[in-house]
Structure 1
Amino acid sequence: MDEKILQVTEEAAGMRVDVYLTQALDISRSFAQQIVQRGEAQVNDNIVKAKYRLHDGDTVCIRMESPKEWTAEAENLPLAVIYEDADMIVINKARGMVVHPAAGNYRGTLVNALLFHCKGGLSGINGVIRPGIVHRLDKDTSGVMVAAKTDAAHRGLAQQIKEHKARRTYWALVHGNIAEDKGVVDAPVGRHPKDRIKMAVTFKGGRPAVTHFKVLKRYGACTWIECRLETGRTHQIRVHMAYINHPVINDPLYGYKKDAFPIEGQALHSHCLDLVHPISGQQMHFEAPLPQDFLDCLKRAEKHI
């Protein structure tokens, strides 16, 4: 039996318990609802319904049977391939797609799609649950992502990412008018001291994190920016932009509770990736166009200048 205890903070007060568990455990909404209905997730030792609204100070206790051994299965899912050869594959990940299987997300992930497309031919370094996965994007972040088809390619790509030689550039739409044309956020990121489902800028125990940004266009109430990462901390851009009081539009964890933009999840897109081919040594550049939901957000911002 696995047990996990979570303390609800003021920031999470008012959130439905199923939504809270979705974010806290990185599981699907339907799976969160199932464990609440089965009584495996209780609030203050009481069985509640999935729609129960949490209060500041509530204790959420999750007790579930340990999962049995399982492996990811190939699934014929839509996959936007940007580039592919015998060693690696570069895709444009759709917003809403989870990268690899986890509790409650056994199917429908990028790994499931890659296993089908590559006929199982992915690097085995990360095991049977995350084959080929060198780096990840948040579920609701779209855009360029590379996966390895061989162990040699995996090692080469992972080394470039570790040494910050692979250049990752993101586009984001953030709240507020950024006055500077460009800037740098140099602030350590670590687990939030009170809310364990979140990351935060923390100077005690945080890991170094550096984000370079420049303004692409100002809309008055919001700003379209480009971000380049020197480091790759969890939720780095989202945490850093919230830290300088310009949270990403529609960010459910670090943004405002109510956003009227036509997008599910944060307006953050992995626009391009520059790397050296791990086998041939060739310099390579990949881009993913903005998805329609992000373009719709820009149109809405344009109307409100």
Structure 2
Amino acid sequence: MPLSNIEIVHQDDALLVINKPTLLLSVPGRAEDNKDCLVTRLQEHGYPEARIVHRLDWETSGLIVLARDADSHRELSRQFHDRETEKAYTALCWGQPEADSGRIELPLRYDPPNKPRHIVDFEQGKHALTFWRVTARCGDWSRVELTPITGRSHQLRVHMLAIGHPLLGDRLYAHEQALAAFDRLCLHASLLCLTHPQTGERLRFESPAPF
């Protein structure tokens, strides 16, 4: 598959920052028909050394960084593990939150009987923390900025569902009205800040949401 719909936001000898489109895996899936993904496309079209550092869900679009050598991969991975990076997402959620901002601290775990869904589980779930802020109110839905402090799978989607405001177009978690409100998952990685693994410079990247 070509790189035609993949925007390279930044590139240098150490890293690539990509604006990933929706409906593209970050890494290959287990099934044979899920081999097409962001890292494979990059490796096959001029960046054979590209290494994934973190992931975005298949339906989530936006900013993602890849390393171009082993040392950079190690350092960037450490920054994500130690929560030295900054990430923010733009989303559209169903309904109108009563407050203008808040925090969601609910433990999450994978739910094998309903894969690939995740659920809130106070006994077996792993700690997960999200901050949210309403940036616009638009009738049946709201535009929110979501800041995950932890990086659990489906964290933002499950946390917003848990407070009664599922994301629009979410085929896994949205109710019928929220699902029908938009033709894609309205979740976009709009801000990414990290420290350059070679120069030590603090880098900031922004990408406006396409919805």
Asked if TM exceeds 0.5, the reply is yes
User: How far apart, in 2, do the equivalents of 1:212 and 1:96 lie?
Assistant: 26
2:4 equivalent to 1:84: no
2:43 equivalent to 1:115: yes
- Which amino acid letter does the alignment assign opposite residue 74 of structure 2? R
Q: Which runs of 5+ in 2 are unaligned?
A: none
Cα shift readout 1:223-258 (whole Å, capped 9, x = no counterpart): 100011100000000000000010001111111135
**1:210 — aligned with what?**
129
Match of 2:80 among 150, 155, 161: 161
Greater C-alpha radius of gyration: 1
User: How far apart, in 2, do the equivalents of 1:193 and 1:288 lie?
Assistant: 34
Greater RCO structure (CA 8 Å; 6+ sep): 2
TM superposition score normalised by structure 1: 0.65
Relative to structure 1, the CA distance from residue 251 to residue 262 in structure 2 (aligned partners, 3 Å threshold; closer, same or farther) is closer
Quote the sequence identity (%). Answer: 35
Partner SS, residue 279 of structure 1: coil
Structure 1 stretches of at least 4 aligned residues deviating more than 6 Å after TM superposition: none
**1:145 — aligned with what?**
64
**1:260 — aligned with what?**
180
**1:271 — aligned with what?**
190
Contact 1:250-1:256 within 8 A present in 2 as well: no
Partner SS, residue 154 of structure 1: helix
Aligned residues: 207
TM superposition score normalised by structure 2: 0.93
C-alpha deviation, 1:279, in angstroms: 1.4
- Mapping 1:28-177, distance limit 5 Å: 75-78=1-4, 79-102=6-29, 103=31, 104-107=33-36, 109-122=37-50, 132-177=51-96
Q: Which runs of 5+ in 1 are unaligned?
A: 1-74, 123-131, 295-305
- Which amino acid letter does the alignment assign opposite residue 24 of structure 2? M
2:143 equivalent to 1:224: yes
Contact 2:91-2:167 within 8 A present in 1 as well: yes
Root mean square deviation of aligned Cα: 1.4
Cα shift readout 1:270-300 (whole Å, capped 9, x = no counterpart): 0010111111110000011222xx2xxxxxx
